[in-house]
């Protein structure tokens, strides 16, 4: 990969960096905006530039004809439609569960019936502090509108991808939202590709080493939350869960490379006295 283009707010994106493979309109993602400069000569059309609004690395996708900014990984999560998040129920009202997606932000709404196969009689009875794995459906219209979540695909009425819905047991760990995005990419690709797409080998490594003790289940929320459960772990369940949490947060904090990630996994499993 050639050296990345780092932009600061206000910097214009040089046109040669933008995808130009087809005639479809360019899609601007997070951190970029289109500025129109009226030309000095009224007969000429105004000129357009694309400028950054957030600091970060320019990321382009020629296939989708899209460009966006990869910004600082420790920032606060802002709900974006289609993101998978781990939300915590705060309270419920007749129609909705009011959930926390990010602390110190307004609650998001999750319909009481937005679960697979839910009817008035079969809907899950969630209480304060319960966790759900949900998808951001919409951000609402206008300023101050509520974010809406769902646990089903509105088109099919199924929990797609599998696993959407209440999360029971297990433990949640906080990671940066940059790390959450990487984990998401890693977990959606095959074990061999994880290193290439996200620079992460930790999930693959943990998966191999904890296989004997029953393996683990993991759900990654783009809001910087990772849910881990070792339900089949028996006696080592608690220790394995803590070990996974420690591995993830240490890698996040110290930007460990794949070699060090492998070493860390081995060290922590040994420290926690988990046989692998």
The residues binding another protein (CB under 8 A) are: 1, 3-4, 6, 8-11, 30-31, 53-57, 70-76, 78-80, 88, 100, 103-106, 127, 129-131, 139, 143-144, 167-172, 178, 182, 195-196, 198-200, 227, 238-239, 241-242, 245-246, 253, 255, 257, 268, 271-272
To another protein, the closest distance from the beta carbon of 44 in angstroms equals: 22
To another protein, the closest distance from the beta carbon of 159 in angstroms equals: 19
Task: Specify the residue, 3 or 156, whose C-beta has the smaller distance to another protein.
Answer: 3
- The partner residues of 60 in beta bridges, in order of sequence, read 67
205: tokens are 């490594």
Task: Specify the residue, 118 or 242, whose C-beta has the smaller distance to another protein.
Answer: 242
Task: Specify the residue, 3 or 21, whose C-beta has the smaller distance to another protein.
Answer: 3
Task: Specify the residue, 81 or 157, whose C-beta has the smaller distance to another protein.
Answer: 81
Name the helix (H) or strand (E) containing 248: helix 237-254
Task: Specify the residue, 180 or 268, whose C-beta has the smaller distance to another protein.
Answer: 268
Structural contact between residues 230 and 236, judged by C-beta atoms closer than 8 angstroms: yes
To another protein, the closest distance from the beta carbon of 271 in angstroms equals: 6
To another protein, the closest distance from the beta carbon of 170 in angstroms equals: 6
Q: Which of 33, 73, 80, 28 is closest to 53 using CA atoms?
A: 33
- The partner residues of 69 in beta bridges, in order of sequence, read 58
To another protein, the closest distance from the beta carbon of 113 in angstroms equals: 22
Task: Specify the residue, 158 or 270, whose C-beta has the smaller distance to another protein.
Answer: 270
DSSP string, 72-90: -TTSPP---TT-EEEEEEE
To another protein, the closest distance from the beta carbon of 276 in angstroms equals: 16
To another protein, the closest distance from the beta carbon of 156 in angstroms equals: 28
Task: Specify the residue, 4 or 157, whose C-beta has the smaller distance to another protein.
Answer: 4
E runs forming strands in the chain: 6-7, 27-28, 32-37, 47-52, 56-61, 66-71, 84-92, 96-100, 108-111, 131-138, 148-150, 165-167, 171-174, 217-221, 225-229
Q: Which of 138, 155, 121 is closest to 80 using CA atoms?
A: 138
The Cα–Cα gap between 169 and 161 comes to 20
Q: 3-class DSSP state for residue 47? A: strand
């Amino acid at each position: 990969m050639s050296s990345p283009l780092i932009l600061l707010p206000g910097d214009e994106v040089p046109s040669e960096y933008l995808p130009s493979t087809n005639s479809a309109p360019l899609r601007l993602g997070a951190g970029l905006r289109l500025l129109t400069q009226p030309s000095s000569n009224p007969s000429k059309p105004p000129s357009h530039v694309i400028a950054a609004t957030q600091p970060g690395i320019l990321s382009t996708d020629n296939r989708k004809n899209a460009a966006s900014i990869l910004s600082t990984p420790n920032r606060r999560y802002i709900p974006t439609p289609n993101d998978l998040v781990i939300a915590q129920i705060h309270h419920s009202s007749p129609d909705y569960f009011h959930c926390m997606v990010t602390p110190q932000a307004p609650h998001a709404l999750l319909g009481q019936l937005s679960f697979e196969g839910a009817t008035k009689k079969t809907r899950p009875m969630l209480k304060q502090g319960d966790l759900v794995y949900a998808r951001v459906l919409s951000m609402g219209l206008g300023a101050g509108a509520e974010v809406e979540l769902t646990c089903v695909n509105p088109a099919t009425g199924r929990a797609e991808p599998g696993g959407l819905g209440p999360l029971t047991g297990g433990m949640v760990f906080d990671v940066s939202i940059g790390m959450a995005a990487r984990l998401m990419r890693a977990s959606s690709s095959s074990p061999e590709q994880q290193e290439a797409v996200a620079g992460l080998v930790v999930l693959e490594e943990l998966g191999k080493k904890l296989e004997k003790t029953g393996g683990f289940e993991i759900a990654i929320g783009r809001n910087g939350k990772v849910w881990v459960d070792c339900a089949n772990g028996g006696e080592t369940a608690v220790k394995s869960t803590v070990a996974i949490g420690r591995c993830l947060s240490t890698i996040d904090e110290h930007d460990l490379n794949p070699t060090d990630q492998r070493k860390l996994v081995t060290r922590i499993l040994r420290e926690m006295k988990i046989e692998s």
